[in-house]
Chain A
Amino acid sequence: GAVVSQHPSRVICKSGTSVKIECRSLDFQATTMFWYRQFPKQSLMLMATSNEGSKATYEQGVEKDKFLINHASLTLSTLTVTSAHPEDSSFYICSARQGGSAGELFFGEGSRLTVL
């Protein structure tokens, strides 16, 4: 299967700082990537759809000024959590689709963010 890599896997930061998470498709090009968030013992919730060369599409209730998404190339999307607070602590997972609009999605390893 295709490989999606995410970095960092764990990050601890102080309240008020910003954190950037990178998501790369290693062996295929992805015009669209997706960012999910998962709280303990819950399912994955889609935060936003990242579109190469254009603005991201955010799900209802997700603050676009808090979670900045940039998709500058066909293999890299970044999520920046700005002015992080303890309630932003969560597991963030990115994914990329291989193939057409209904193609298979592959996921990165996830990034566990802890805000002190």
Chain B
Amino acid sequence: GIQVEQSPPDLILQEGANSTLRCNFSDSVNNLQWFHQNPWGQLINLFYIPSGTKQNGRLSATTVATERYSLLYISSSQTTDSGVYFCAVGVTGFQKLVFGTGTRLLVSP
């Protein structure tokens, strides 16, 4: 099956810093989503981005499907950005989403 690897696995930032999270996948995809999992376990939808670039406030994402990767940018990080970030991909011909390994982010004041 498809492999979805995220890097870095852990990231510690000072409040106000910028960061880039990466998601690599091993097969063609027709769906890619980024999520933030808060301390209570809730998955918050950040981006639905099978290709191209999107921005939402301090967050933006880019997916280059032909090169099998996606990037999530967080600018001017805040303590509330702490948590785990997951990318999840949908393989062409299948409906399910396969989750990546996750990046655990801690933003300190």
B98 at the interface (CB under 8 A from A): yes
Interface 0/1 of A22-50, CB less than 8 Å to B: 00000000001010101000011110010
Task: Choose among B31, B45, B97 the residue with the greatest number of A CB atoms under 10 Å from its CB.
Answer: B97
Nearest-Cβ distance from residue B73 to partner chain A, whole angstroms: 20
Residue from B50, B88, B100 with most neighbouring chain A CB atoms (10 Å): B88
Chain B residues in 8 Å Cβ range of A97: 95
Task: Assess the B45–A104 pair: CB atoms within 8 A.
Answer: yes
Contact check: which of A32, A44, A109, A110 meets B99 at CB < 8 Å?
Answer: A44
Task: Give the interface size class of chain B.
Answer: 20 to 34
Chain A residues near B88: list those with CB within 8 A: 44, 105
Q: A1-B45, A91-B41, A93-B43 are in contact. Are A105 and B33 (CB under 8 A)?
A: yes
Chain B residues within an 8 Å CB radius of A45: 99
A105 to B102 Cα, complex, angstroms: 17
Quick check: is B42 within 8 A (CB to CB) of the other chain? yes
Minimum CB–CB distance from A69 to chain B (whole Å) comes to: 14
CA of A45 to CA of B101 in the docked complex: distance in angstroms? Answer: 10
Query: Taking CB as reference atom, which chain A residue is nearest B100?
Result: A43
Q: Are B45 and A93 in contact (CB under 8 A)?
A: no
B86: Cβ under 8 A from any A Cβ: yes
Residue numbers in A under 8 Å from B101 (CB-CB): 43
Do residues B95 and A109 form an inter-chain contact, with CB atoms below 8 A?
A: no
CB closest chain-B residue, reference A98: B48
Chain A residue nearest to B97 in the complex (CB)? A105
Q: Which 4 A-B pairs have the closest CB atoms?
A: A107-B43, A104-B48, A102-B30, A110-B41
